[in-house]
Homo-oligomer: A and B are copies of this chain.
Amino acid sequence: MILVMKNGATQEEIDSASNQIKTWGHDVSISKGEYQTVIGIIGDKQDLAGKALHTLAGVDKVLEVSAPYKKASREFRPEDSVVDVNGVKVGGGHKSIIAGPCSVDTYDNLILIAKAVKEAGATMLRGGAFKPRTSPYSFQGKGEEGLQMLAEARKETGLPIVTELMSEQDIDLVYQYTDVVQIGARNMQNFALLKEIGKLGKPVILKNGIASTVKEHLMSVEYVMSGGLNDVIIALRGTRTYETAMRNTLDVSLIPYMQKLTHLPIIVDPSHAAGKREFVSALGYAGMAIGADGAIIEVHPCPSCALSDGDQALLPEDFTYFMNKVNRLEAWDQKEWSREVGSMQNSKLNG
Contact = CB atoms under 8 A, between A and B. Distances in A.
A44 B140 CA distance: 19
A70 B137 CA distance: 10
A106 interface: no
Interface in A49-80: 49-52, 54-56, 61, 63, 65-66, 68-70, 75
Contact of A303 (B55, B168, B189): B55
Contacts of A223: 136
Contacts of A41: 33
A325 B332 contact: yes
A2 interface: yes
Interface in A288-324: 289-291, 303-311, 315, 317-318, 321
Interface stretch (A85-93, A107-115, A340-348): A340-348
A43 B38 contact: no
B75 A226 contact: no
Contacts of A75: 7, 35
A325 to B, nearest CB: 7
Copies of this protein in the complex? 4
A192 interface: yes
Contacts of A55: 277, 303-304, 306, 310-311
A135 B40 contact: no
Given A31-B42, A341-B315, A211 B214 contact: no
Interface in A213-260: 213-214, 216, 219, 222-223, 226, 238-246, 249-254, 256-257, 260
B254 A252 contact: no
A190 B186 contact: yes
Interface in A3-20: 4, 7, 20
Contacts of A43: 33-34
A307 B51 CA distance: 6
A38 B30 CA distance: 11
B2 A36 contact: no
B226 A306 contact: no
Contacts of A321: 337, 340-341, 344
Contact of A168 (B169, B191, B251, B285): B169
A51 to B, nearest CB: 8
A328 interface: yes
Contact of A222 (B32, B135, B338): B135
Given A54-B310, A167-B168, 8 more contacts: A29-B31, A33-B66, A55-B303, A211-B239, A214-B245, A253-B286, A278-B338, A315-B341
Interface of A: 2, 4, 7, 20, 29, 31-36, 38, 40-44, 46, 49-52, 54-56, 61, 63, 65-66, 68-70, 75, 132-139, 166-170, 186-187, 189-193, 195, 209-214, 216, 219, 222-223, 226, 238-246, 249-254, 256-257, 260, 270, 273-274, 276-279, 281-283, 285-287, 289-291, 303-311, 315, 317-318, 321, 325, 328-330, 332, 334, 337-338, 340-341, 344-345, 348
